[in-house]
Amino acid sequence: MEDIINIGIVAHADAGKTTLTERLLFEAGELRTLGSVDSRNTQTDWLDIERQRGISVKASSSRLFWKKCQINLIDTPGHVDFAGEVQRSLSMLDAAILVISAAEGIQGQTEVLWEALDKLDVPTLIFINKIDRLGAEPRELISELSTRFSPSLAVMESWEDAQSRNCRVFCLEPKQGPLNECLTELAVENDAKAQECFLNDSPIPEDILLRALRESIAVRRAFPVYLGAAALSVGIRELLDGIMLLPRAKRQSDSPLSGLVYKVEHDKSMGKAAHVRLFSGVISNREPVPVRGKEKVEKVTQIRRVLGQRTVDMGQLTAGDIGVLYGLSDIRIGDVIGEMALSREVAIAAPLLKSQVFSKKPEQLTDLVAALRELTEEDPLLDMEWEPEERELYIKITGMIQLEVIGAFLRDRFGLEAEFASPSVIYKETPSKPGVGIENYTWPKPCWACIEFNIEPMERGSGFKFQSAVGDRVILSRYQAHIAQTLPEALKQGLYGWEVTDLKITLTGGSHHLIHTHPLDFFTATPMALMNGLENTGSTLLEPMVTMRFMAQEQHAGSLIHDIVAMRGSFDSPVIHKDRLTMEARVPVATSMDYPVTFGSLTGGKGVISSRFSGYEPCPLELGKTTKRRGLDPRDRAKWILHSRNAL
């Protein structure tokens, strides 16, 4: 059974991920002809919209073999608008290659990716690309990486001249000197034979040094850095050899079935396609596949491997590998196949904007709703909202480019023409103080559902927590489950119409009735109790914030600071180096959406700007925005009860 490594190639926009993927495939002999982004013929960017714009919008799979190892490559988008694709891919990786452009340096998205890889404990190689570019300073970038990310960076290959390919090996950390000094230190920490050799001042065997490096990489104590220029094929073979240092996937085919659905697509002829990373067990054609939490067990009709735009029949998916299962009509992203898979979740994508969608042809509105529902299955962050009473349709997005891509998908895949309203910022709200929510739903009979909540605000970014402080005799456990099930949906609209977050709700009292309580009564009563509680606590409006990083000529410092203050932002002191300033600021999304255009004009197109989401902060109501409630308001008690009982 051959070794397998599942590797994600991740980076900030324009770092050269797709070019690197193409060169890796070509160097390994998987491609006969080398494609390029400019020529619009790469293996992994095959969608029309990707080739037209020269950017990746979908995570794409490919495969190569190197030194008897199967390497599954996942080329992920770099643009922040499509960070959801990266987020979903991270859950199935054995390792990652973090690509950084030597010309643009560390971007906001680079930091987001590093933090996500660190949180998920994903072993990581770093490839500093475009070292041939004018202004590239790889040594300074390596020093900055060591300071901002990790001191354990071992630089494996440094190309002094990308054209002549003069190579020398050196070690940056933990101290200056030959690479062997770095490996010696790693080996002596954990290997008795290495310690003996070190004490006797004798050479440590090469196999022990190599094992020490592998083990340190596997536990994220060492991060090999490779330098090159993918467009010139510089550093590609060295990077392929570096991949051999990464930990392999576990091939537990004899263990119970366990897999994770990390991506869903729709095939016109074959239906829903579930991309699965299998951690253990085996799946074969025509076998029933149990999905955790679903009573219905469906059979797989076909198993395929995706290689860019092509697919090839696999027949069987074995542990450690990735493949696409067809025939599972009810499958969703995040579903667990068989037993619980390794739980690896991290949030790096945050839709901060909301846009209303209109059909150019009113008679096609129903088809548009169905199409967006399908796209939401592929990207749950779209979180499509359809209000049939008002005939209004909304989606959530991370940026304006995403709207253009969605419009292209609707046109090319579904033959639908859509228009989008100017996006508005998605605010949130949180309780202003502790309070109590009460609902006694005992009329008109038959009904009985009494609830008492304690509602408390929590620290920013903590989300929502529910707990019960009452026993089964007060409220039966199945009714308490109904309360817990209802609250997340009820919290989607608070006093100002926005999602309520950063709070803890404790069930402290209430009652059920052995005769009068209907199974649906607590579903009806819970939103009423919640809104009663929010009226008692009051709501604080929260607005999304971004951290922006600016690089520009020193002469623009005054104008930049003026603009940041005008956007209601705060900033750190500028760092000046060789007449260039680097500056970070934290600003509201609402005031900074159009600033990249302003910044480009200010710097004559020579400045570099990047941004990353940095949480929600309180916002004065007069500077923010409320939104109208969708559907019935539980505070309109009579109508809410009639609606819940299907009496309207």
Given a cut of 50, whether residue 618 has pLDDT beyond it is: yes
628-645 pLDDT, tens digit each: 898 899 999 999 999 998
13-72 pLDDT, tens digit each: 889 999 999 999 999 999 888 877 766 677 776 677 777 777 788 889 999 999 999 999
- How far apart, in whole angstroms, are the C-alpha atoms of residue 169 and residue 383? 49
Pairing of strands 418-420, 385-387: unpaired
Helix (H), strand (E), coil (C) string for 191-245: CHHHHHHHHCCCCCCHHHHHHHHHHHHHCCCCEEEEECEHHHCECHHHHHHHHCC
Name the strands in the sheet holding 95-101, side by side, starting at the edge strand that comes first in the sequence. Answer: 60-66, 69-75, 3-11, 95-101, 124-129, 223-227, 153-161, 166-168
**Residue 497 phi, psi (nearest 5):** 90, 0
Given a cut of 60, whether residue 333 has pLDDT beyond it is: yes
488-527 pLDDT, tens digit each: 999 999 999 999 999 999 999 999 999 999 989 999 999 9
* 343 — pLDDT class (breaks 50, 70, 90): low
Provide the 3-class DSSP secondary structure of residue 268: coil
Output the pLDDT for position 176. Answer: 37
Taking residues 126-153, what's their average pLDDT? 83
Provide DSSP, 488-557.
HHHTTS-TTSSEE-SEEEEEEEEE--TTT--TTHHHHHHHHHHHHHHHHH-EEEEEEEEEEEEEEEGGGH
The answer to whether 607 and 551 are in contact (CB under 8 A) is: yes
Given a cut of 70, whether residue 165 has pLDDT beyond it is: no
Stronger pLDDT, 183 or 220, i.e. the higher one = 220
* 148 — pLDDT class (breaks 50, 70, 90): confident
Given a cut of 60, whether residue 7 has pLDDT beyond it is: yes
* 172 — pLDDT class (breaks 50, 70, 90): very low
Output the pLDDT for position 147. Answer: 82
% of the chain at pLDDT higher than 90: 66
Provide the 3-class DSSP secondary structure of residue 296: coil
Given a cut of 80, whether residue 170 has pLDDT beyond it is: no
Mean pLDDT score of the chain:
89
* Stated pTM of the model: 0.87
- Rank 9-18, 55-64, 152-161, 420-429 by mean pLDDT and report only the highest: 420-429
* 372 — pLDDT class (breaks 50, 70, 90): very high
Provide DSSP, 17-48.
HHHHHHHHHHHTTS-SS---TTTT--SS--SH
Domains along the chain with CATH numbers: 3-243 (3.40.50.300), 258-338 (2.40.30.10), 353-426 (3.30.70.870), 541-623 (3.30.70.240)
Residue 422, amino acid: S
Q: Which of 103-107, 144-148, 200-204, 344-348 has the lowest average pLDDT?
A: 344-348
430-487 pLDDT, tens digit each: 999 999 999 999 998 899 999 999 999 999 999 999 999 999 999 999 999 999 999 9
Stronger pLDDT, 223 or 276, i.e. the higher one = 276
